[in-house]
């Protein structure tokens, strides 16, 4: 989850799309462009995912931590999908209807993947047993006793 949260932060700053108008002008769009897309929100949620993922590693995995981490991951994925739909439906630039072609960039895909991995990691962290040094030592002793 820590790596997936970091992926989300990096993906939020990368190009989310390239808009081509009349096959002449290419305009790269980043998720963090002010007022246009939700890259800033996904970056903040990515930071929150890293913090919550760290808490899940070091502490009890029950309670609210895993739920909040999973919700954070799903929110990141939902924001990425919303922006994908908005970008693919774009046919205006500056309020003028133009012949536009939109190609989704790697940042949007990395953000989506990061959000899905955060959510899946939170669920897995909750429902898989936690291995500690004590439990590993106990498992070794059990196999040696047999």
Phi/psi for 142 (5° steps) reads -65, -40
Q: What would the pLDDT profile of 61-98 be if each residue is shown by its tens digit? A: 677 888 999 999 999 999 999 989 888 876 655 566 66
C-alpha 81/C-alpha 75 separation (Å) is 10
Domains of the chain: 2-145 (1.20.140)
- Report the 10 Å Cβ neighbour count for 143: 8
As a whole number of Å, the end-to-end CA separation of the chain is 36
> What tokens does 137 get?
């030592």
Over range 90-107, report the average pLDDT: 74
Q: Which residue has the tokens 């993906």?
A: 11
Q: What would the pLDDT profile of 3-46 be if each residue is shown by its tens digit? A: 999 999 999 999 988 888 777 888 888 888 766 678 889 999 99
Q: 3-class DSSP state for residue 15?
A: strand
pTM of the model: 0.81
């Amino acid at each position: 989850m820590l790596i997936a949260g970091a992926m989300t932060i990096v993906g939020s700053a990368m190009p989310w799309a390239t808009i081509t108008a009349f096959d002449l002008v290419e305009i790269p769009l980043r998720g963090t462009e002010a007022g246009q897309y939700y890259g800033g929100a996904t970056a903040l949620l990515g930071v929150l995912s890293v913090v919550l993922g760290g808490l899940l590693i070091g502490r009890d995995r029950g309670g609210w931590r895993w739920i909040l981490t999973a919700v954070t991951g799903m929110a990141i994925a939902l924001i990425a999908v919303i922006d994908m739909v908005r970008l693919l439906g774009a046919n205006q630039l500056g309020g003028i209807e133009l012949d536009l072609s939109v190609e989704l960039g790697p940042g949007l895909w990395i953000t989506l993947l990061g959000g899905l991995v955060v959510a899946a990691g939170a669920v897995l962290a909750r429902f898989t047993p936690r291995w500690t040094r004590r439990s590993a030592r106990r498992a070794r002793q059990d196999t040696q006793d047999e």
